[in-house]
Structure 1
Amino acid sequence: MASRSDLDAYAHDHVFLGASHDENARRTRWVVALTAVMMIGEIIAGYVTGSMALLADGFHMATHAGALSVAAGAYAYAKRHARSPAYSFGTGKVGDLAGFASAMVLGLIAFAIGAESVMRLFQPINVAFGEATIIAVVGLLVNIASAFLLSGSHHHGHDDHGHGHEHHTHAGDNNLRSAYVHVLADALTSVLAIAALLAGRYLGWTWMDPAMGIVGAVVIARWSWTLMRDTAAVLLDRTDDHVAGEVRELVEASGDARIADLHVWRVGPEAHAAIVSVVADQGVTGDTIRARLAPVHELAHLTVETR
C-alpha cells in the first residue's frame, strides 16, 4: 500500500484561475463604479431632454452596471472557492457562467431598445437636442475610459499551473470579455445617440433618434449571440478540437499506441483538462504518454489510462 508521502507526491489542487484574475477583478470594479455614475446622469438627462437615444443609452448602461457587477462578483466567488473540494475541477469556469448570464441580459437589452425605438418612430416626441448631445458625449468619454481599463490587461506571458504551463492571453477570460462587450455596446449606443442628436438638431431629421436606436439594437443583439455561443460551449465542456488534435498526434506518432477514448475541455481561462484512454504495446506506460504530452502547454490537468 502506498505511504502518505507517496500519495502527497501525486496530490494536487485544482486552481485554474487566470494569471490576471486579481488584476481583471480590480479593473472590473472600477468600471462598475464609472458606469453606475454615468448611468444615473444619462437616465436623468434622457427624461429631462426627451431624447429616446439618450434615455436608451442610460437604461442600457443601467443594465450593464448590473451585468458588470455580476462579473465582479464572479471574480470574487471564483477566488474564494478556488480550493474548495466541492468543485471537482475548481472554479475556473465561474467567469463563463457570469459571461453567459451577461450575454442573456445584453440580448434582452437589445430587444427592449429595438421595441421602444420602433414605437418612437410612429410616436415621436420633442427632444432637447443640444443638452442631450452634451450628456451623450460625456457618456462616450466614460465608455472609452472603461474600455481602456478593461483592455489594459492585454499581454502575453506564461503561467505555471502545477501540471504544466499555459500561454497566457486574457482572450480566454469570458468574464472579462463579457464586461468588455458590455462597455463596447455602451460606446456604440453613445456614438449612435450623438449622431442622431446632431442630425436632429442641425438637419431636422428627428426620425434619426429612434432609427439609431434600432441600429444599435441589431448590433448589440449580434454581440450578445456571439458571447452566448462561446460561453455556452465552455459550460457544456465542448471539445477543443485544436488541443485534441495535438494530443492525438503526439500520442500516436510513434505507432505503438492508439487513443481509444479522448476528452478535452476547458476548466479555466487559461487551462484545459484531458482524459486520455490509450491502447498501447507492452512497455508503453502512463508515464510514457505523459512525457509525450508534455509539450501540450494548454493541458493543466491530465488523466491517462493505458490498456
Structure 2
Amino acid sequence: MTIPNCTKVDQFSYFDSENEKRTRYVLALTFVTMVLEIGAGTIFGSMALLADGWHMGTHAAAFCITLFVYRYARKHSRSGQFSYGTGKVGVLGGYTSAMLLGMVALGMLFESIHRLVSPVEIEFNAAIAVAVIGLIVNLLSMLLLGHNHDHSGAHEHSHDHPHEHNDHHHHDDHNLKAAYIHVLTDALTSVLAIVALLVGKFVGWTWLDPIMGVVGSVIIAKWAWGLMKQTSPILLDKAIEQTYQQQIVMKLDNAGVSLLDIHIWKVSADHFCATLTLKDEQMREPAFFKQLLVDFDKIDHLVVEVNPA
C-alpha cells in the first residue's frame, strides 16, 4: 500500500531564510553589546545598565532558539514526521522566548529592589556612554529584523465571516515576533537606563536608576504575557471561533444533513484543520460536502465522514 504524499499540509510548515539571516546579524550585535554592558554595569555601578546587559544575555539565548527553530523547520518541512507539518515549531519557539522574557523581568525586579535597599555608587559619564551604544545597537537590530506587528499582545484577528481569511501566503511568524520583542525590550531598557543615569547625574536622584529597573521589568512582563497568550492556544490546539463554527453548522443544516461530530482546531499560527462526521439520507459523497464548505477557507485541511441515516 502506497502512502500518499500529503502536499496539502506542507503549507503549514514555514521557514524564511531571509529572517534567519537577519536574526544571525542581530545575534552577533546582541552578544557583543551584552558583554560590553555587563562589564560596564559591574565596573561603573549602574543597575539600569547591568540589567540591560543581563537582559541582552537572555535575548542572545532567545535568538539562538529562533535560529534553531528556522533550521529545524526547514529540515523537517517535508519529512513526513509531523502530521501537519512543522508550523508549530515557530510557535513553540515564540512561547519559549516569552518564558525567557518573563524570567528576565523577574530577575530585573528582584535586583532593582535590592539596589533600592542597598544603593551603590555610579560612575555616570561612562555608564551613559555605554547605554547610548546599547540603544544604537538595539535600534539597528530592530531595523534588521524589520518586524511591524502590534507588540501589545492584542494581535488577535477575529474573522466572523468565511470570506475574510483568504490570504494563505501570509504567515504570522511568532518566532520572529518573539525575537523582535526581545530587541524592543532591549531598546526600552536602554532608554530607561539613559534617562535614569542623566537624572541621577544632573539632579542627584540616584534612586531613579533602580526605579527604572522596576518599571522596565513590569513592561517586559506585560509583553511576555501577551506573547504567551498568543502562542499557547495554538500549542494547545485551540478550537476555531464559535461564530465561525456555527456558520458551518448552519450551512450543513440547510443542505439537509445531520451533524454528528465536529472538530476544528489550529495546527499552526494561521491554519486550521477540521473533521466532520455527518449522517445523510442521500448518502452523498464527502467531496460534495467539501465543495459545499469551500467558502470557509480558514480551514486548510478538511476530513469528512458520511454515514447512512
Same fold (TM over 0.5): yes
Residue number in structure 2 paired with 1:292: 292
* Partner secondary structure for residue 268 of structure 1: coil
RMSD of aligned alpha carbons: 2.5
Q: Against the structure 1 CA distance between its residues 302 and 243, is the aligned structure 2 distance closer, same or farther, given a 3 Å change threshold?
A: farther
Query: 2:207: which partner in 1?
Result: 207
2:259 maps to which residue?
259
1:1-307 to 2 correspondences below 5 Å: 11-12=6-7, 14-17=9-12, 21-152=16-147, 166-170=167-171, 172-241=172-241, 244-245=244-245, 248=248, 251-252=251-252, 254-282=254-282, 284-307=284-307
Aligned residue type for 2:279: V
Post-superposition CA distance 1:176-215 (Å, at most 9, x none): 1211111111111111111111110111110010000001
* Cα separation, partners in 2 of 1:169 and 1:90, compared to 1, 3 Å: closer
State the distance in 1 between where 2:243 and 2:91 align: 19
Distance 1:108 1:63, change over 3 A: same
- Assess, with a 3 A threshold, how the Cα gap between structure 1 residues 17 and 143 changes in structure 2: closer, same or farther: farther
CA deviation after TM superposition for structure 1 residue 136, in Å: 1.2
2:17 and 2:244 map into 1 onto residues whose CA distance is 30
Q: Identity of paired residues, percent? A: 42
Unpaired runs of at least 5, structure 1 = 155-163
Q: State the distance in 2 between where 1:253 and 1:151 align.
A: 46
Question: Quick one: which amino acid aligns to residue 123 of structure 1?
Answer: S
Offset, 1:250:
6.8
For residues 281 and 25 of structure 1, the distance between their equivalents in structure 2, rounded to whole angstroms, comes to 53
- Quote the Cα distance in structure 2 between the aligned partners of 1:41 and 1:285: 67
Task: For residues 254-274 of structure 1, give each alpha carbon's deviation from its aligned partner in whole angstroms, at most 9, with x where no partner exists.
Answer: 342343322222222332222
CA distance in 2, matches of 1:70, 1:242: 34
Q: Which amino acid aligns with 2:168?
A: H
2:121 is paired with a residue whose SS is coil
Answer whether contact 1:166 1:271 (CA < 8 A) is retained.
no
Which moves more between the two structures, 62-71 or 233-242? 233-242
Q: Deviations over 1:52-91 (max 9, x none)?
A: 1001000100011101110110111011011223212221
Deviation of the 1:291 alpha carbon: 1.0
Give SS of 1:119's match. helix
CA contact (8 A) 1:234 1:266 kept: yes
Distance apart, 1:298 and its partner CA: 2.5
Q: How many residues are aligned here?
A: 292
